[in-house]
Amino acid sequence: MRPVRIATVTTGPSTGLQGTERFLALLVDVLKEIGAEVHQFHFEQLNPPRPWSIWDRLGWRVPANAGILAQRALRTCPPFDLFIAHGLCGWALPPERKITIYHGCYAAYAETLRGHITWRDYITMRYIWGWAERRAGRASVTVALSAENAEYLRHYYGTQISRVIVNAIDTDYYQPTKDKEALRLTLGLPPSACVVLFAGTWSIAKGADIVASVAESNVPNLIFLAATNAPPTGVGVPANVRLFLRQSPAELRRLYQAADIFLFPSRSEACSLALAEAMACGLVPVASRVGAWQEITVAAPSLSQFLLPPSSGPEKYIQAISLLASNPSLRAATSASAAQAAASLFSLRRFRAEYQALVADFAASTTVSAI
């Protein structure tokens, strides 16, 4: 029996630092472990770029690019047995040979950010990209990254999710440090301070406006750090926030291990890798109830008081951080709970087993073998 031939169709390659790109790199490795032959199709292969000016204005570039990639993949010889698509990238692929993995829900994202984005961006995400996401749901298997993500897809598109498989991280790599004081000295951080870290795009979508307000609140004995992958735009960075740009995984791990609290008031997530990594390093998440928050509270009920409704303003985050900053014993206990929950919930072993079983089930129903 020959190995199963798989094509992944995504917006980006598996070589970047964005969450979806890192997810893809992990998924490809997991599939290759069982002998699958994996070929990647992504937007950066569409070079030189086409003159899309009118289509850009109408919001169709992304679905159109996904359609072009689908045609390339379908014309490849010998043909692929299985297509694995990220969300709307799968709208033009054949349903009977497709697994669609949703990394969010654009319709829900548009509604969440309504009032913070232009009407054109709202229409594009809510209806045009939403149309493509709905079409992508016509698949043999549909996967969501969290229970909340699955519910949004059902509510907005009527998509029935086959499986919920949360993200995974290397919990052998992301762990609490045994010498936080020494690490802080290398970063120029006071050993006794309570260090609050934000990691993500510095944008309204990620709650940067709330982070800025919390930092400006003058809670005593707090140090604020922010790690972001691009220079901040749109939201000002307070003078007391120390900014770290374009951090490598190793550099970001140092920041996680040096901090105490992970401030993450994001307005929309499917299953944040940054939150998972921070928890694995022992940071207490003071975050919004988005993405995998339901799974987190089941794994660590003590963290529920620090996961706040998405509508919460800066005051609620200030209260939660002040409580932790003034109570070292509470901070230590919830830190241990966060690390333990992350080690089980976001484990590579679980991720590997679930996706390998997914492909094995498909292969068992066809004439190919994934093993």
**CB-CB neighbours of 162 under 10 Å:** 16
Between CA 235 and CA 4 the distance in angstroms is 47
Between CA 60 and CA 63 the distance in angstroms is 6
Between CA 296 and CA 148 the distance in angstroms is 12
Between CA 236 and CA 106 the distance in angstroms is 26
**pLDDT surpassing 90 at residue 347:** yes
The pTM score is 0.92
Does residue 208 form part of some domain? yes
pLDDT of residue 149: 97
* DSSP-derived secondary structure for 177-226: -S-HHHHHHHHT--TTSEEEEEES--STTTTHHHHHHHHTT--TTEEEEE
Both 250 and 113 in one domain: the answer is no
Does residue 371 form part of some domain? no
pLDDT in tens, 128-171: 999 999 999 999 999 999 999 999 999 999 999 999 999 999 99
pLDDT of residue 60: 84
SS3 333: helix
Both 162 and 224 in one domain: the answer is no
The whole-angstrom distance between residue 247's C-alpha and the CA centroid of its chain comes to: 17
Does residue 174 form part of some domain? no
Q: What percent of the chain clears pLDDT 70, i.e. is strictly above it?
A: 94
- Give the mean pLDDT of the chain: 91
Both 186 and 335 in one domain: the answer is yes
**Domain holding 55: CATH number?**
3.40.50.2000
Does residue 303 form part of some domain? yes
Alpha-carbon dihedral sign for residues 110, 115, 117, 119: positive
Between CA 170 and CA 346 the distance in angstroms is 8
pLDDT in tens, 181-219: 999 999 999 999 999 999 999 999 999 999 999 999 988
User: Do 19 and 272 contact (CB within 8 A), yes or no?
Assistant: yes
pLDDT of residue 232: 87
DSSP 69: H
Query: Which tokens is 84 given?
Result: 């694995």
Does residue 121 form part of some domain? yes
Task: Give which of 334, 329, 281, 278 is closest to 306, Cα–Cα.
Answer: 334
Query: Which tokens is 13 given?
Result: 């390659």
* Domain, as residue range, for 301: 180-345
8: left (phi over 0), alpha (psi -120 to 50) or beta: beta
**pLDDT surpassing 60 at residue 359:** yes
Both 82 and 163 in one domain: the answer is yes
Both 150 and 233 in one domain: the answer is no
Both 269 and 251 in one domain: the answer is yes
Both 27 and 12 in one domain: the answer is yes
Q: Based on the structure, what is the number of domains in the chain?
A: 2
Does residue 370 form part of some domain? no
**DSSP3 helix / strand / coil % (the chain, rounded to 5):** 50, 15, 35
Strand-pair partners of 5: 37
Does residue 53 form part of some domain? yes
DSSP 124: I
**pLDDT surpassing 80 at residue 368:** no
pLDDT of residue 56: 65
pLDDT of residue 61: 85
Both 164 and 187 in one domain: the answer is no
Alpha-carbon dihedral sign for residues 332, 296, 26, 19: negative
Confidence of residue 1 (pLDDT cuts 50, 70, 90): low
pLDDT of residue 261: 98
Does residue 293 form part of some domain? yes
Both 220 and 156 in one domain: the answer is no
Confidence of residue 13 (pLDDT cuts 50, 70, 90): confident
**pLDDT surpassing 90 at residue 51:** no
Both 225 and 252 in one domain: the answer is yes
pLDDT of residue 50: 56
Both 157 and 11 in one domain: the answer is yes
Both 256 and 339 in one domain: the answer is yes
